[in-house]
Amino acid sequence: MAETIIIGGIKMVKGENFKGMLMYTGSRDNKGEVIYPEFSKEDIRELLDAGVNEFIILDGGLLYNYYIDDNGKYHQIVTLEDVDKLPPEITEVSRTPGWHEKFQESYRNRIIDTKEGRNLNDHVKREVELVKRMVEVDKDIHIWLSFPGVILHGMADMFYDAYKEYVFELSKKSLPAEVWEHNIRGFYFSTEDIVNDFTVFYHERNEYNSDFNNPIVKLMKGLSELVHADNKKMLWIPYYRLDRWAETGKRMGYIANRTDFFDYIVIQPSYFFSKNTKANINVIEESVKRQEVVDFYGDPFGGEKISKTIIGAEMEIAEDSSCSVSTRKDEEERYLAYVNAFKQFSGKYPIIYYASYRDSVMSPKIYNYIKDMFGE
């Protein structure tokens, strides 16, 4: 029987052998024309051999603002007219004059730049194709599908209906029933933050499972209820921030400690990409040890943890253009900081690798890093 620990009076399972890998698929541009390299069956076998036992399928985080109905007609999820109607109360308008109008203009540009080729139907189609390939390799493989990231933060809750019908339900209809029941563990919520400035967040509404009057949290809550009603799980991989975006980390902590929207929250340190975030490593290590997200003073965000959410850490490494020249200079030193902090949790709490797209993941150096981390 798995060991249990008590956090805030809540009995929680200790001993989650969750060794995950992010698997990028689908389009990498606003038109839906540039596609990520595909993982082959041999790649999947090698990752299984390296110790990976949870595969999270996702796209690159750009906006999906179209779906195709049963009659083949394209529909926009959020329109320019919707942006014009966006109430100023949604954004933090008290900062500077014109703040709300600035975000409206940003949203308009994102909607104009996103073309019909980036639609939810194609997102699901590509994920399903990879799922079927993976199941052919291992009939017992564990797979997570994803809800695409929402970069129109102040209008996030407007995506619920489309995500319900054209991601969740379409995924379920597109897969064999036995694969859905046996192999699909749940859904990854791809929006990585509840970033400050873009949306309000009422910290004082701190009761259990509050939506904090925030549109991103409202989307989280709705999708969580949908997924959990089907006996699937929810995963989130947000980043921890200090600097001027510290409020983003605080909001993440409130979700982790005060709600059960997610079964697993695995935190990004970001240190591999930014030397200014080294302190995140220690704070995330402490958060995983204590199974509650804490601030830099060791205090849990939002007060006593009342959720059952299991906390884990993300490993970050890449061999592609996502790494700057300065990152390359001390790449191994930065990566080893992750190993030194998080290796102790492998096989006990969730550890998930970000290693960029297929060619980076399967490079000999990174593959061996993964194998060393997850090996028994």
pLDDT in tens, 104-140: 999 999 999 999 989 999 999 999 999 999 999 999 9
- What's the number of domains the chain is made of? 1
Spell out the residues 6+ positions from residue 96 whose beta carbon is closer than 8 angstroms to its own: none
Task: Output DSSP code: residue 105.
Answer: H
- The pLDDT value recorded for residue 2 is 39
Q: By the 8 A CB rule, do 76 and 68 touch?
A: no
Distances (CA, A) of 328 to 26, 100, 267, 308, 369: 27, 38, 23, 38, 16
What percentage of the chain reaches a pLDDT higher than 70? 91
pLDDT in tens, 333-346: 999 999 999 999 99
291, 282 contact by CB (below 8 A): no
For 66-94, the pLDDT digits (tens) are: 999 999 999 999 999 999 998 888 776 55
Please, are residues 319 and 365 in contact by the beta-carbon 8 Å criterion? yes
Alpha helices by DSSP H, 183-330: 215-229, 246-258, 279-290, 325-329
- Cα 214 to Cα 206: distance, rounded to the nearest angstrom: 13
How many angstroms separate the CA atoms of 3 and 209, rounded?
26
Among 22-26, 318-322, 351-355, which stretch is predicted with the lowest mean pLDDT? 318-322
Degrees, nearest 5: CA angle 276-285-231: 115
Four-point Cα dihedral 62, 63, 64, 65, nearest 10: -160
Binning pLDDT at 50, 70 and 90, where does residue 12 land? very low
Q: What is the pLDDT at residue 155?
A: 94
Return the pLDDT at 6.
Answer: 52
Average pLDDT over the chain, rounded to an integer = 90
d(CA 264, CA 281): 18
Residue 346 token pair = 């492998």
- pLDDT at residue number 274: 86
Confidence of residue 243 (pLDDT cuts 50, 70, 90): low
Q: For residue range 160-195, what is the model confidence (pLDDT) as tens digits?
A: 999 999 999 999 999 999 999 999 999 999 999 998
Per-residue pLDDT band for 211 (boundaries 50, 70, 90) equals very high
Q: What is the CATH number of the domain that holds 71?
A: 3.20.20
Residues of the domain holding 280: 3-374
* CA separation for the pair 270, 356 (Å, rounded): 13
Distance (Å) of CA 257 to CA 113, 212, 218, 243, 313: 37, 13, 17, 22, 16
Closest to 159 in 3D by CA, of 105, 208, 119, 115: 119
Least confident piece of the model among 15-19, 53-57, 288-292, 298-302: 15-19
Q: What is the pTM of this model?
A: 0.93
pLDDT of residue 244: 47
Flag whether pLDDT at 242 surpasses 90: no
